[in-house]
Amino acid sequence: MSDRFIRQERLPQIGTEGQAKLAAARVALVGVGATGSHLAASLGRAGVGRTEKGGLLRLIDRDIVELSNLPRQTLFTTADVESVRPKAEAAAEALEHIDPGLALEPVVEDLVSDNANQLLGDVDLVLDGTDNFTTRMLVNDLCVRDGRPWIYSGVVGTEGQLLVVRSSTACLRCYVPELPAPGTLPTCDTAGVLGSVVSLITSLVATESLKIILKDDDVRDGEVFVVDGWRGDVRTVSLSIDPTCPCCQRQSYEFLNSQSAAMPTELCGRNAIQLPPTGAPVDLESAAKRLAKEGVVTRSRFLVRLDSPDRRLLLFSDGRVIIDNTQSASEARSVRAKLLGD
């Protein structure tokens, strides 16, 4: 290896042997927004998941880069917003410029029970970069079932949290037993988010990730880190296994077994509804022609976007549709029927 990682190799905790382990690691990032893009940058720069050793950095995200993402989401530029790029693709390209040796796999899909095995089943570590507990519970189910380590992290307002989940320690469901009812928790939409807290929490997650990959004895599982980014406080709260936990104790993997993939989803911070694929084959070329009668159409490898005076619609190559300026699934469905005929 060149001297790219020489300063890291000098650390007694890593060394040349540890650096080789980082290169060989296979890591999936679920969500490449605020926390996910910071984590991708941190791990990629540290040499995690390089081609020469059979490593992998899989970047999974369902959405495109938006202007309001740029204050917090590293790796993206105004040009990505203008060219309607999916976050996964834009992040992978930015990382490739940083280190062409990285084994990057952008995935422009929504992680759901149907594809969770395929997207997370062949990696050593899963990192949470999502903004919702439904996806986190799904990741928790799959990783606990398979004994695969994963790290939950989230940032709202000026506070961030993280939890390392490994077999034999408490899981996310020991901490959050049920899905919070819609509207009961503050979200980045209602409470805002301070960009510097994202850097704080993801620095801690990135360090725990390296320790997990290196099989270091000092991995901090079984405790929740709580970061108050405004005051600059980091504290930890120990978390015991809940003997009634449906996931890690009763092995009833409800989120993995549910059909959440079939449900429309409200997207946090977007005033938009995502409709799942209908199952009909997707032909972006003919959809673009059809939509061109309605407004300005932009086409890329992964999607078609329509901008019309009263509407914006995204059709992805996996069949998902995102419709802006609505929070009603039935309105979104009728817009899709009118514009795409299904």
Stretch binding Zn ion (CB under 5 A), from 10-18, 74-82, 98-106, 168-176: 168-176
Give the strand order in the sheet containing 296-299: 265-267, 272-275, 321-324, 311-316, 303-308, 296-299
Nearer CB in complex with Zn ion: 22/138: 138
- Give the single-character DSSP code of 157: B
Classify residue 15 as left (phi > 0), alpha (psi -120 to 50) or beta. Answer: left
Show the binding pattern over residues 70-109: x = contacts Zn ion (CB under 5 A), - = does not. Answer: ----------------------------------------
Mark the segment that binds Zn ion (CB under 5 A) among 36-44, 46-54, 170-178, 285-293. Answer: 170-178
Closest separation in Å from C-beta 245 to Zn ion: 3
Q: Which of 143, 174, 188, 247 is catalytic?
A: 188
Q: With contacts defined by CB under 5 A, how many residues of the chain interact with Zn ion?
A: 6
Among 174, 206, 212, 214, binds Zn ion (CB under 5 A): 174
Return d(Cα 256, Cα 252) in angstroms, integer. Answer: 9
Q: How far is the CB of 172 from Zn ion (least distance, A)?
A: 7
Secondary structure E strands in the chain? 26-30, 56-60, 104-107, 125-128, 150-156, 159-165, 223-228, 233-238, 265-267, 272-275, 296-299, 303-308, 311-316, 321-324
**Distance (Å, whole) CA 55 – CA 52:** 8
List binders of Zn ion among 226-265 (CB under 5 A). 245, 247-248
Of 58, 87, 136, 173, the one binding Zn ion by CB under 5 A: 173
Q: Which is nearer to Zn ion, 22 or 248 (CB)?
A: 248
CB 212 within 8 A of CB 149: yes
**Shortest distance (Å) from residue 127 CB to Zn ion:** 19
Which residues are CB-contacts of 293 (< 8 A; sequence separation ≥ 6)?
none
**Tokens 């959405």 correspond to what residue?**
63
| 171 near Zn ion, rule: CB under 5 A | yes
| Residue 145 structure tokens | 């079932």
Nearer to Zn ion, 253 or 316 (CB): 253
Residue 303 in the binding site for Zn ion (CB under 5 A): no
* Nearest-approach distance from CB 253 to Zn ion, in angstroms: 11
The pair phi, psi for residue 121, each rounded to 5°, is: -75, -15
Q: Which is nearer to Zn ion, 175 or 318 (CB)?
A: 175
CB 9 within 8 A of CB 16: yes
- From 67-75, 124-132, 146-154, 163-171, give the range in contact with Zn ion by CB under 5 A: 163-171
171 or 224: whose CB is closer to Zn ion?
A: 171
Query: Longest C-alpha distance within the chain, in Å?
Result: 63
Q: Name the residue nearer to Zn ion (CB basis): 247 or 297.
A: 247
CB of 216 to Zn ion, least distance (A): 23
Q: Which is nearer to Zn ion, 111 or 247 (CB)?
A: 247
SS3 category, 51: helix
CA distances from 77 to 85, 95, 291 (A): 10, 13, 27
CA neighbor of 150 nearest in space, from 39, 233, 260, 51:
39
**Residue 174 annotated among the catalytic residues of the structure:** no
CB of 241 vs Zn ion, minimal distance in Å = 6
x/- track of binding to Zn ion for residues 118-157 (CB under 5 A): ----------------------------------------
Shortest Å, Cβ 255 to Zn ion: 13
Residue 163 interacting with Zn ion (CB under 5 A): no
Q: Which residues pair with 323 in a beta bridge?
A: 273, 313
Question: Interface residues with Zn ion (CB under 5 A)?
Answer: 171, 173-174, 245, 247-248
Catalytic residue set: 188
